[in-house]
Structure 1
Amino acid sequence: MRWTATGMLAAMAVIFFTTHGLVGDHPAWGYVNAFAEAAMVGGLADWFAVTALFRHPLGLPIPHTAIIPQNKDRIADTMASFLRENFLTPAVVARRMAGMNVARAIGDFLVASPERGGEDARSRITAGAAELVAELLESLDPDRLGNQVRRGLAGQLAKIEVSPLAGRMIESMMAGRRHQPVIDGLIRWAGLTLEDNEDTIRAIIHERVSAVLRWAGLDKTISANVLDGLYKLLAEVLVDPDHPLRHKVEEGLTKLAQDLQHDPETRGRVEELKRELLANPAVAVWWMGVWERLRRSLIRRARDAESGMGEEMRSALAELGAALKQDERLQLQINRFARRTAVGVATRYGDQIVTLVSDTVKRWDATTITGRVEGAVGRDLQFIRINGTLVGGLVGMTLHFITTVM
């Protein structure tokens, strides 16, 4: 556009000098010469005006030229003030956000069909999120992060009184008869433990009986009878849901549940045990091992396209989008949250934002700000030169007509 405007100015100059000697030959040449003369003047005036915005015309230090480079600090402050007063005030942000359904827009984006790029969008979001998670887990100090997580969990556990929760859990299990499989499992475990330790039991009985019984070989008979009796007792308890021993166990569980909830001494012992457990170095070592395996597993799954993590995240995003699109109550809550957040950002950080704009522009040198502003509006400014050339020519031709007639 600069070359076009300059070419028109040069063409007017050629026409003016060419027709200057032909004015007396025919009246039409006078109009042509007047048009070219005035167009040349108009084009030069607008060239000066446009150039003076960005630099000194012809490099001459004429006053009030190179306006933008010489006033860039004032322009920066003016831009910041305009932005603050017209865009970042709480009232303007709230009014603008009131007419926006942010939740619905997010929902439409997340559930868009593959033809509209919805699947690609979800894939890009999940891929970016997965890579971000992996890089975050890799960049942070594993030991420090693991210790921070452990301390956070320990702090939360320290605030929770475990005894009442455990008591209510036992009561709930017994009310729904869900404790029976636990008792069955304990009985089977006792049977297996007894079977694995038969030799130990026989040795204990052998040592405890008198020497006469050992000399008569009755210790082996006693051991066999004791073991058989224990196996028979465990089998009876296992198959009989109304066995007295089961009732004894249930009575013990019921009392334990009550003590955990209402007995200060029992609750105190449980809390003390909890504190000792949390302070035990072995627990910290165990947790760090668990955390490291968990961290490596998350990194591996995040980077592995075949792990299914991406598909799970895409499905979750699609479900979230459907909920945002269809649930008006959820939309209302999210839109209210978004509006309050935007207003809060404008209120708390509006001055910092405009200061960032102002400081950034002030740090630009004259060449940078000139190039950026001229690149943004320079094309339209060249139209000013073109229009000035044409309008000037028309005015010159009109004045020639008026002077000729009069």
Structure 2
Amino acid sequence: MASGGGGAVTAFTRGPGAFTAADEAKQRGVRRMKSIATAALVAMAVIFTLATWAEHAGAGSWAGYVAAAAEAGMVGALADWFAVTALFRRPLGLPIPHTAIIPTKKDQLGRSLGDFVGDNFLSSQVVRERLRRVGIGSRLGAWLAEPEHADRVTDELATALRGALTVLRDSDVQAVVGEAITRRANSQEIAPGLGTMLEKIVADGGHRRLVDLVCVRACEWLETHGDSVMEAVSGGAPGWTPRFVDRKVGDRVYRELLRFATEMRDMPDHPARGAVDRFLADFAQDLRADPATRERVERLKREVLGRAEVQELIDSAWSSVRAMIVAAAEDERSELRVRARTSLLSLGHRMSHDARLRGKVDSWLEGAAVYVVTTYRHEITGLITDTVAGWDAEQTSRKIEANIGRDLQFIRINGTVVGALAGLTIHTLAQLLGA
């Protein structure tokens, strides 16, 4: 954009602080006001010339008053023209000190603006007072209590969840989850916990159902597979024993096994059941206190976690969970979305009617906002300072002039009018005092 009042912009500079089409429209308004202010100065000069000529020609005392007013108007117009012009450029191109303030002190102005914003907008007291006046908790509660708003938030959350799960690569998540599970499992000894849990199960008799199930299944299997038992016994007998002896021994072994399993099934106080109870109790105690047993459990744990099948199970678990969540997020009638919507409505109603909850929400939001502005205050103000520092000096000056120049031209017009009135007043007082 041309620096003078009548120049036109033929191209817009690209980059930070670029001169936009909107700025050009504003600059046209600035040029119109410049023309009016300059016309007022020219009018004062013409009036001064004519009034001075008339006074010397003997037109009367009125000409002196008009000349004094016009002269002071010119002085006021020129002074304000100099002041306004000195903000953006050097008047008449002369290297006068303290002119072209915006181009030469752009970086300093940026730092001052950053400090001003930090002191007056990013202080903890200002943030707290502003948020307290807004009453976010009350407004948020009333807003969430409306079903259509709860539906909207649910939809947005579902969209965000689907987007996040879509962006995440399964291999990355599986690697992280697998590493986290393995690291957590390796960092904690599981034997004492297992011992405590087993001890509680035995004390409560929770294992007896499992023993009952094993006894029932054993009896059923023996009743169905008697021939298999006898063949196994016969097959393990020496070759020199008679065949009928092997069958008799096999039959005896089978009957004893069946009798033993049946008695354990039908007798809750069977000695073998007591032996199982004692074994489990002793094993629970070993898990808690015996170093050798604990070491064997830890070694088994590491072996299990290191197996490829276990890692594949972890990977498939994440894939299943991911697919389940995506499907639930896409289905408007899924339990996940229904519960989310219900929870949002409930939260909205509670916040609308529970002053204590609103106070907690407001306090949390205030604390979070204060933490952000106090922790990142210098980064925020630094963004302003660095942004202004990155702008081109001349382009910045033109951009600022386009946005505030129109109001500044009113200063020139006001200076012309006020100067003329002041000159007329001073001339009148001088005449009165001289008389």
TM-score normalised by length of structure 1: 0.70
The Cα shift of 1:163 comes to 1.1
The Cα shift of 1:81 comes to 5.1
Whether contact under 8 Å (1:13, 1:37) holds in the other structure is no
Give, as a single letter, the amino acid of the residue that structure 2 aligns with 1:160: Q
Mapped to 2, the partners of 1:183 and 1:26 lie a distance apart of: 132
Larger of the two Rg values belongs to structure? 2
Q: How many residues align?
A: 390
| Residue number in structure 2 paired with 1:170 | 198
| Residue number in structure 2 paired with 1:142 | 170
1:345 aligns with 2:379: no
Select which of 248, 261, 267 maps to 2:294: 267
Mapped to 1, the partners of 2:105 and 2:305 lie a distance apart of: 65
Mapped to 2, the partners of 1:8 and 1:191 lie a distance apart of: 113
Select which of 243, 247, 251 maps to 1:211: 243
Mapped to 2, the partners of 1:357 and 1:196 lie a distance apart of: 86
The Cα shift of 1:36 comes to 6.3
Structure 1: gaps (5+ residues)? none
Select which of 177, 184, 189 maps to 1:161: 189
Of 137-146 and 358-367, the range deviating more from structure 2: 137-146
The Cα shift of 1:301 comes to 3.8
| Residue number in structure 2 paired with 1:290 | 317
Mapped to 2, the partners of 1:339 and 1:114 lie a distance apart of: 21
The Cα shift of 1:274 comes to 1.0
Equivalent residues in 2 for 1:2-401 (5 A)? 2=30, 5-6=33-34, 8-9=36-37, 12=40, 16=44, 17=46, 38-39=72-73, 41-56=75-90, 60=93, 63=96, 64-80=98-114, 93=124, 95=125, 107-108=137-138, 110-113=140-143, 120=149, 127-184=155-212, 186=214, 200-201=228-229, 203-204=231-232, 207=235, 211-212=243-244, 229=259, 232-233=262-263, 236=266, 245-316=272-343, 322=350, 326=356, 334=364, 338=368, 341-342=371-372, 345=375, 351-370=378-397, 373-374=400-401, 377-378=404-405, 380-401=407-428
Mapped to 1, the partners of 2:273 and 2:409 lie a distance apart of: 98
Identify if the C-alpha distance between structure 1 residues 288 and 297 changes in structure 2 by more than 3 Å, giving closer, same or farther: same
Mapped to 1, the partners of 2:255 and 2:369 lie a distance apart of: 79
Whether contact under 8 Å (1:113, 1:119) holds in the other structure is no
Identify if the C-alpha distance between structure 1 residues 129 and 105 changes in structure 2 by more than 3 Å, giving closer, same or farther: farther
Give, as a single letter, the amino acid of the residue that structure 1 aligns with 2:282: K
Structure 2: gaps (5+ residues)? 1-28
Of 9-18 and 23-32, the range deviating more from structure 2: 23-32
Identify if the C-alpha distance between structure 1 residues 396 and 3 changes in structure 2 by more than 3 Å, giving closer, same or farther: farther
Aligned residues: percent identity?
32
TM-score normalised by length of structure 2: 0.67
Mapped to 1, the partners of 2:205 and 2:66 lie a distance apart of: 109
**CA root-mean-square deviation:** 4.9
The Cα shift of 1:158 comes to 1.2
Give, as a single letter, the amino acid of the residue that structure 1 aligns with 2:243: A
